[in-house]
């Protein structure tokens, strides 16, 4: 069965897309730890990120770098934090999180609950900065 992220990439489940190319898809996390929290996912369905081929992983980081630049331009923050957890969804992904202080990246706190309209507006802002 396809992972939830494969179903998002296929458009079967709606998402707030930020960027996409042939190999990767970036969209807003539905329960962000900070405004603009984005997930970068390979279209290839692999559970564990370090099982990706070296060259795919390299291109994924290059794609994430461009997404991070767009986030940095769109969301007031000091920089973009990067983390990999992967305990909830068995489809490799990178979390890119706009941060100003360390607790902004803390996953143990209560998550934000933005409305669909707020998510759409944030995604649009980031998308417009993506080059
Ligand atoms: P992890 O697997 O890295 O522990 O966490 C998975 C992340 O994916 C969580 O931050 C969670 O909020 C996000 N997530 C899970 N299901 C969905 C979904 O259907 N849509 C979106 N946009 N994000 C999701």
Which residue is catalytic, options 16, 37, 91, 93? 93
Q: What domains, with CATH codes, occur in the chain?
A: 4-129 (3.30.428.10)
What mean pLDDT value characterizes the chain?
97
d(CA 16, CA 52): 25
pLDDT tens, residue by residue, 2-37 = 999 999 999 999 999 999 999 999 999 999 999 999
Backbone phi, psi, residue 8, to 5° = -65, -45
Q: How far is CA 34 from the centre of its chain?
A: 12
Q: Which atom of ligand 1 is nearest to the CA of 95?
A: 3
Q: Which atom of ligand 1 is nearest to the CA of 31?
A: 12
Amino acid 1: pLDDT: 86
Answer yes or no: is pLDDT of 49 > 90. Answer: yes
Contact 45, 105 (CB under 8 A): no
Q: How confident is the model at residue 131 (pLDDT cuts 50, 70, 90)?
A: very high
Q: 54 CB less than 6 Å from ligand 1?
A: no
Answer yes or no: is pLDDT of 63 > 90. Answer: yes
For ligand 1, the distance from its centroid to the CA atom of residue 89, given in whole angstroms, is 6
Amino acid 26: pLDDT: 98
Q: 31 CB less than 6 Å from ligand 1?
A: yes
Q: How confident is the model at residue 95 (pLDDT cuts 50, 70, 90)?
A: very high
Amino acid 57: pLDDT: 98
Closest CA to 97 of 18, 15, 13, 7: 18
Q: 113 CB less than 6 Å from ligand 1?
A: no
Q: 98 CB less than 6 Å from ligand 1?
A: no
pTM exceeds 0.85 for this model: yes
């Amino acid at each position: 069965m396809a992972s939830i992220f494969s179903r998002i990439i296929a458009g079967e489940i709606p998402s707030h897309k930020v960027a996409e190319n042939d190999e990767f898809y970036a969209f807003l996390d539905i329960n962000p730890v900070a405004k603009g929290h984005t997930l970068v996912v390979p279209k290839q369905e692999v559970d564990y990120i370090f099982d990706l081929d070296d060259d795919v992983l390299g291109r994924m980081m290059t794609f994430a770098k461009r997404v991070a630049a767009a986030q940095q331009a769109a969301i007031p923050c000091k920089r973009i934090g990067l983390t990999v957890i992967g305990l909830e969804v068995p489809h490799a992904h990178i979390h890119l999180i706009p941060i100003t202080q360390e607790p902004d990246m803390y996953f143990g706190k209560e998550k934000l609950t933005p409305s669909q309209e707020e998510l759409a507006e944030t995604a649009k802002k980031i998308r417009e900065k993506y080059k």
